[in-house]
A and B are shown apart, each in its own frame.
Chain A
Amino acid sequence: MARSRDDERLAGRLAAVGALGFVLVVPPLLAQFDRMDRVFGVPLLWAYLYLVWAIVIGLVAIVGARSK
């Protein structure tokens, strides 16, 4: 029982991470970064997308590691 509750919590958190990632990579948020600017010498949009990507990876890794 405890196991399945733990499981549900994990599933919920991961679903939230997935939803967050989806919201960040589609308009309108995406459109905010869809500009010709460069940061650290690289295109802004390119940097933004990889940042989101890295954040999602990090969150999934952390959430996954915290569950048994």
Chain B
Amino acid sequence: MLRAEIIVAVSVAYLGLLFVVAFYADRRAAAGRSLINNATVYALSLAVYETAWALYGNVGGAAATGVGFLGLYLGPVLMLALGWPVLRRIMRVSRRHRVTSLADFVSARYGKSAVLGGLVTIIAVVGIAPYISLQLKAVSDTFEIIRRYPEITAASEMGQVPLLQDTGLYAALLLAAFTILFGTRHLDTAERHEGLVAAVAFESVVKLAALLAVGVFVTFWMFRGFDDLFSRAAQADLTQLFTLHGHTSYGTWVWVIVLSMLSIVLLPRQWQVTFVENVDEKHLKRAMWLFPLYLLANTFFVLPLAAGGLLRLGGATDADTYVLALPIAEGQQALALFVFIGGLSAATAMIAVETIALSTMVSNSLVMPLLLRSRSRLARRDDLSGLVLGIRRTTIVLILLLGYAYFRLAGEGRALTSFGLVSFAAVAQFAPAILGGLFWKGGTRLGVLVGLVAGFVMWAYTLLLPSFAESGLLPASFLREGPLGIELLRPQRLFGLSGMDPVSHAMFWSALVNIGGYVAVSLAGRPNVAERAQAVQFVDILAEPARERRWQAHATVGALQTMLERFLGREGAERALRAYPGTRPDSPEAEAPPELVHHAEAQLSGSVGAASARLVVDAVVGQEPVRTDEVMEMIGEASQRVELVRRRLEFLYDATSSIGTTLDVIRTAEELTQAAVPGFADYATVDLPEAVVRGDEPGMNGGGTGGTGPRMQRTAVSGIRDETPFFPIGDLITYTPSSPPARSIETGRAILVPRLRDSPGWQEVDRVRASHILDHGVHSLITAPLRARGVLLGVVNFWRSEKTEPFEQDDLSLAAELAAHAAVSLDNARRYTREHGMAVALQRSLLPRTLPEQHAVEVAYRYLPAQEGVGGDWFDVIPLSGARVALVMGDVVGHGLHAAATMGRLRTAVHSFSSLDPPPHELLGHLDELVTRTDQEAVAAGGETSITGVTCLYAIYDSVTHRCAIARAGHPAPALARPDGTVEFLDVPSGLPLGIGGLPFESVELHLPEGSRLVLFTDGLVERRDQDIDTGLRILRETLARAEQTPEETCDAVLDALLPPVQSDDIALLVARTRVLGSEQVAQWDIESDPAAVRRVRAAVSTLLAEWELETLQDTTELILSELITNAMRHGVGPIKVRLLRDHTLTCEVYDRSLTSPHLRYAATMDEGGRGLFLVAQLTARWGTRYTKDGKVIWAEQTTPEAPGD
């Protein structure tokens, strides 16, 4: 007799062995040499399908219906053949979406619906409970049988035992403990249990071995092979072993095949081992034939065993226990124990896997969503992994107790097989939702909800309730007469449908309402966006992966990590984040990219289910889970992109419109740095070669920088703080060739340095400063070349310190764009600086630098070029013969180089004309002709610019006569400030500007008292945009009336009073204070036309020069005068007049009435005359002729040894 203690000891020892196997597998997995990464182990693990129910009950079934039981195995065989097209899809979906249970799958497929997940969970738990009770029954019954060895006890004889003596209860509790230890030691994001799978595979071998051993023993030991066995059976007229017809309808047969096809996929434990625990989808290929082969071997001896049992034990013993009873009957104690262990093996494997799968579903799809939704205090704990494990462990115990309760209440007296089919029919309800969802995109959440509820209700009504009725829990009349006697509602004859066995009947109705509800409701409505998105993901799973993304997700990396830690624990969260394939921002404050959020959700959904994970992540990223979510998904990637581009364009627009407001290089560089801060960078610096700052060509294109690298001047610095660690403005920096700015110049591209700390090239430039900058928190740099019109002008550096995220590749283009825009402005400023400088230089070179020495007037002048550029104003003071001086003031219309050049030409022309000493109006006439001719030439040559419109004023002051002749061509009239303080604007005919032609100019002659100030100016002085010209003139008049007497002081006073704040036109101002040549310095004689007069004049001159202390000039003066007088007598017309002026020179003048101009001749050797003017030219500094109103004057100047009166 086998003592109970021995049986228990062996059983516990066996369970211990399983632990060892599992432990070993876990160790191997941790070492990276997974034991279950093997197709054979995978196929064996699928054999969890073969339960204790199958081990014992199959023989019972075969004893009653022959091969009828085989339908349960043919279905899986066929389904596995379809494994590649169907199962692999589920496998892919599960892996990609981290689906870890059936409920999760349904929920995820239909828009991550928490309701569906919960519903599937409830159906699964209720549907599977009978199945679990079956295992408990098998274990407790066989324990009782083997305990009473060698008696053979019929199960029916065992009857009811008190609860506390029932082995079933202890079996349930033992298995619960076993499962908890096996499956819920820690949380794994993939819900994989390597040790458990290894143990299951091991158990599969044990139960196969047990069954084969008993089969061989019965067939070949107790009988003499198959022939003997079956011929005896035939003789005993056991016809049920040979055929189906007569006891099993073909309808049932087909339904059983179909049900088992679905069950091999949809039973929670099969789902667990097939999809969740699968390591490599290639393993499926071997399992497709290896698993059917295993089933073949497993069932091969079932019919012979049934035949043997019937022949040897007959109907007295429960056929469900033949497998155990036969060895017992033959006294094979060890074999019986082995079979018991095999049965225990099958039961533990099934219960462990099934309850783990169910507990995962309950915790992930039912309890957690409820907790999270209700915002329970539990769900707000910091570490939720303990909570999840607790829920799972509790669930395992509860499920086993539920199974036990079912076993206690309904389990007695029913054949094991029919029990199992109830569960099969329950899980078959998932088929439309799952298989339909795999191949049809049109299914909706509502359709599934309606179909599942309807199918489940129908299942419960037509299968579950009848099973209660048969067990006596419900009155038998419920079955026979229908509820409340309504015949139409009889559970097994619903709506009068008869002629079918209960399973076919139930399957027909439940499939009808389930599939019908699913399809009809789905077609009536439309899948919403989330459902459609998931449908595409699931149905097209074999195509290339499309990424499901969250767009408006804003969460920091730290927040995600905290969230993961709450569910997975610290280590689990670390693992999950490490698994992220992209680059993870290293700072916890950094915003998590959408991919990372998605990754976190996927990892989490492995542990708590898709629906819960979505809720949790939604909470963290602050995303509304409802409507807005749809809208956002609809708007999708495109709008996100558009928004990003729009923001960048906006920034670029704002930035570029604030750059280039002036034509100043340095100002433009400053504007560039200011535009980039703080929108784009925390600091920005600009470096330009010194030449660029001056406006010259930079001369540093590309590689022409030599070995030392470019040398540049820090031109602008801007930052979020005033104090910056960078090179200060004005420093000259030599960039080493490997530094980012040098490389950027070399390549002409923007260079990204995401981590300055890792850039040795940058640090090389100045190590001390580099470490200073790094200490300042600056961590990231983009250097962009400033390139415009093919010329490299310098570099701009953008730095980040406060913004924690480094610059990215995307920022490069923005930086380059900004730099390119700024470079054009910089180049404009540079070119302007250069041209402006050139024009100013030109104009200054054209204007008089120092005024010539003369004593007729005392002058002061001012010239102020316009801010916008050079202008065409000019002025001149030209000494004339006879102690006279010419004052010129002119204005060429317009500004710029052209005006300056024209001015230069006209000034030269005025100089040339004045040497002929014509009266002012005549000089202006010549000038007018010149301008007209030049214009015509310019027009003929195709030039577009004319110089027409030049104004000019020309005045000649004679310091002997105190008279001043003035003519003007459109120029403002000069002001005259008399010594007595009166001021007037001289009434000189205005005349037309030069180049217009028309009326001749007119000179006005007036007398100027000594010390009068003649003020000449251009319109720039008195004309202003905001002010009437009369106002300007009035101010000028008042200023002159007040001003001090000297010309310098007058100039200062006038400019003080009249200089506008913004000078739009250039200004020229000339103040001349008249002097008088005193009568003691002038001598004059009238000469009669008599040669003797010459002698008299020579005598008088001799006396005068002695008086003037100019004796040294006596001889030459006498000689000059006698030559000139003789000439006048010989060629001219009387009367003749001689005048001597003693100024800074000694001037001799001879007047006559003739208009013939003398000219210098080189006399031939033998000529008697003709040597006079030649002599004069030799003896004087200057000589010349000028015409007066009534004749001409020939004059000659000699330099005096010293100025008079000095």
**Taking beta carbons and an 8 Å cutoff, which residues of A are in contact with B?**
4, 7, 10-12, 14-15, 17-18, 21-22, 25-27, 30-31, 34-38, 40-46, 49-50, 53-54, 56-61, 64
Contacts and interface: CB of A to CB of B under 8 A. Distances in A.
Contacts of A7: 542
Given A26-B250, A43-B243, 12 more contacts: A4-B542, A21-B77, A30-B244, A35-B243, A36-B239, A37-B242, A42-B227, A43-B66, A46-B66, A54-B296, A59-B81, A64-B84
B132 interface: no
A21 B250 contact: no
B769 to A, nearest CB: 56
Interface string B79-109: 1111111000000000000000000000000
Interface string B254-292: 100100000000000000000000000000011011001
Contacts of A45: 66-67, 242-244
User: Would you call the interface of chain B mostly helix, strand, loop, or mixed?
Assistant: helix
B242 A14 contact: no
Contacts of B293: 57
B225 A41 contact: yes
B226 interface: yes
Interface residues of B, number: 40
A39 B1139 CA distance: 167
Nearest to A22: B78
Given A38-B234, A57-B77, A60-B289, A26 B253 contact: yes
A56 B292 contact: yes
21 contacts: A10-B84, A14-B81, A14-B82, A15-B81, A15-B82, A21-B77, A25-B74, A30-B250, A30-B253, A38-B234, A41-B230, A43-B67, A43-B243, A44-B242, A45-B243, A49-B70, A50-B296, A56-B292, A57-B292, A60-B292, A64-B84
A11 B84 contact: yes
Contacts of B234: 36, 38
Nearest to B296: A53
A63 to B, nearest CB: 9
A1 to B, nearest CB: 11
A50 B300 contact: yes
A16 to B, nearest CB: 9
B78 A56 contact: yes
Contacts of B296: 50, 53-54, 57
Contact of B67 (A4, A40, A49, A60): A49
A56 B245 contact: no
Contacts, number: 116
Which among A21, A31, A58, A59 has the highest number of chain B CB atoms within 10 Å? A21
A57 B78 CA distance: 9
A8 to B, nearest CB: 9
A39 to B, nearest CB: 10
Contacts of B59: none
A40 to B, nearest CB: 8
B244 A21 contact: no
Contacts of B66: 43, 45-46
B257 A34 contact: no
B250 A31 contact: yes
- Residue among A25, A26, A43 having the largest count of chain B Cβ atoms under 10 Å: A43
Interface string B216-236: 000000000111101100100
A27 B245 CA distance: 11
A4 to B, nearest CB: 7
B308 to A, nearest CB: 14
Given A7-B542, A11-B85, A15-B82, A34 B244 contact: yes
Contacts of B243: 34-36, 43, 45
Nearest to A11: B85
A4 B230 CA distance: 50
Contacts of A53: 74, 77, 292, 296
Contacts of B257: 22, 25-26
B81 A18 contact: yes
Contact of A14 (B83, B230, B239, B253): B83
Interface string B44-74: 0000000000000000000000110010001
A54 B77 CA distance: 10
A42 B226 contact: yes
A27 B250 contact: yes
Contact of A43 (B84, B85, B241, B292): B241
Contacts of B289: 57-58, 60-61, 64
Contact of A41 (B74, B231, B542): B231
Contact of B303 (A35, A46, A56): A46
